[in-house]
Amino acid sequence: MGAGLSSLCRDCFWRGQDARGRCTSCGSPRLIRHPELWTLTIAHLDCDAFYASVEKRDRPELRDKPVIVGGGKRGVVTTACYIARLSGARSAMPMFKALKLCPDAVVIKPDFAKYRVESRRVLDHVRALTPLVQPLSLDEAWLDLTGTERLHGAPPAVTLARLQSDIEGDVGITVSVGLAPNKFLAKIASELDKPRGFGVIGAAEAEAFLAPRPVSILPGVGPVMAETLRKRGLTTIGDLARADPKELARSHGGAGLRLAQLARGRDERAVDPSQARKSISAETTFEDDLKDLEPLETRLLPLCERVARQARREGISGRTVTLKLRTADFRIITRRRAAQAPTQTARTLFAIGRDLLQREIHGSAYRLIGIGLADLTSETAASELFEADETRALAEETAVDHLRDRFGTGAVVRARSLKT
């Protein structure tokens, strides 16, 4: 970081060559300084503690208080604000543990309908800058600003800084940005300076930057893969970068080759707006552990309805049904089965989910159940393969959707067609 680095002020948007710690125009310390700042075009945008930030925006009295969005005492943390995180609370943590760490936290039940509205507002700002936007979830997306400099009259870094300011002013929440030469590095960069951050990782520094970090930050490396790599002496990304790619390919197939590339900071994936989401799911945590089939089925049924209705609304179907259970000791069990044809009905979800569930009833107590639909495809392609019973169920459930949209969710009792 020597003299004459490309620099950008995130407050007044001054840009130039600067080696000092403050903006030469307005004096702000919020400078971005990097030798590749004007040439990088791939970005990752991540809303800061999204659900909690939306709740704090709507309830200003909570601004300086720790806020946790999540279920009841036996639920899990959906989002913890940054104040709550100082006490150790974090997403996916059991609620009782989070409240033990942060007893003064204000707990708010999630309102996903509201969060979806705010997500669309954020993405509207992003899509106004480039058509190459690939959402990952409600609160994050990749974007490619290649070739937009003439359109916006500024390099992508300046456009992104203005985007942050516009979202904060219009939506009332903050976002962090990562700028890099590819998607993998951009996502890592967005985590470097949260909240309200702007991280930059250039191509020249990528391999050295990644080398000391654990292999677990690489996409596709879960606990099992990380342990497998550890047994081979590969605990850091630098270890992977020094490993023989051919040996990684022999032991891990195509995934090994991909890890070898990522370890060197290389990622050829394009930002793809058409890339379909991978799955739809819903889950619920019980107030008391359940171990008998009937009460578990009772909790499973509305989850199947929720997932199926979302699939119909988005015009997609799925081939694979996934049942998720969490035991009393927090061990997660997942079971999957392919449907005979792509489905978007609660009838089929429940039939497969119930069968998978029956196989797990052997005296164990469960604190959570969930159902998911994966291997998604378009509704038109799937409908050609529907059997008569599935077609009938789809018609009935679609009719129920219309009634509930018009008169409310409590207007129609669950369809009898779910019985098998």
Domains of the chain, by residue range, sit at 34-204, 213-263, 279-418
Cα–Cα nearest to 37, from 129, 212, 154: 154
Does residue 297 carry a pLDDT above 70?
yes
What pLDDT does residue 2 have? 43
How much is the pLDDT for 72?
A: 64
Q: How far apart are CA 190 and CA 193, in angstroms?
A: 7
34-204 has CATH 3.30.70.270 classification: yes
Q: Say which amino acid occupies 239.
A: D
> What distances in angstroms separate CA 382 from CA 319, 339, 346, 351, 392, one per listed residue?
9, 11, 15, 18, 14
Q: Is the pTM of this model over 0.75?
A: no
DSSP-based three-state secondary structure for 286: strand
Please name every residue paired with 6 in a beta bridge, in sequence order, or none if there are none: 17
Q: How confident is the model at residue 388 (pLDDT cuts 50, 70, 90)?
A: low
Reply yes or no on whether 247 is catalytic: no
Tell me what the mean pLDDT of segment 364-385 comes to: 72
The two domains 213-263 and 279-418 share their CATH topology (first three levels equal):
no
How far is it, in rounded angstroms, from Cα 261 to Cα 245? Answer: 9
Q: Quote the CATH superfamily of domain 279-418.
A: DNA polymerase, Y-family, little finger domain (3.30.1490.100)
pLDDT at 387 over 90: no
Fold of 213-263: DNA polymerase; domain 1 (1.10.150)
Instruction: Output phi, psi for 200, to 5 deg.
Output: -130, 130
The confidence score (pLDDT) of residue 417 equals: 39
For 2-27, what is each residue's pLDDT tens digit? Answer: 456 899 999 999 998 876 778 888 99
Most confident of 176-190, 285-299, 302-316: 176-190
User: Would you state the structure tokens that stand for residue 384, as one six-digit string?
Assistant: 């050609």
Mean pLDDT, residues 281-294 taken together: 90
Catalytic residue among 55, 140, 305, 397: 140
- CA distance linking residue 172 with residue 305, whole number of Å: 33
281 or 76: which carries more pLDDT confidence?
Answer: 281
* Cβ-proximal residues to 55 (8 Å cutoff; 6+ apart), any chain: 62, 67, 69, 108
Average pLDDT over residues 224-241: 89
Q: Which of 97-101, 255-259, 272-276, 355-359 has the lowest mean pLDDT?
A: 272-276
Rounded mean pLDDT of the chain?
87
Q: Is residue 111 scored above 70 in pLDDT? A: yes
Q: At 19, is the secondary structure helix, strand, or coil?
A: coil
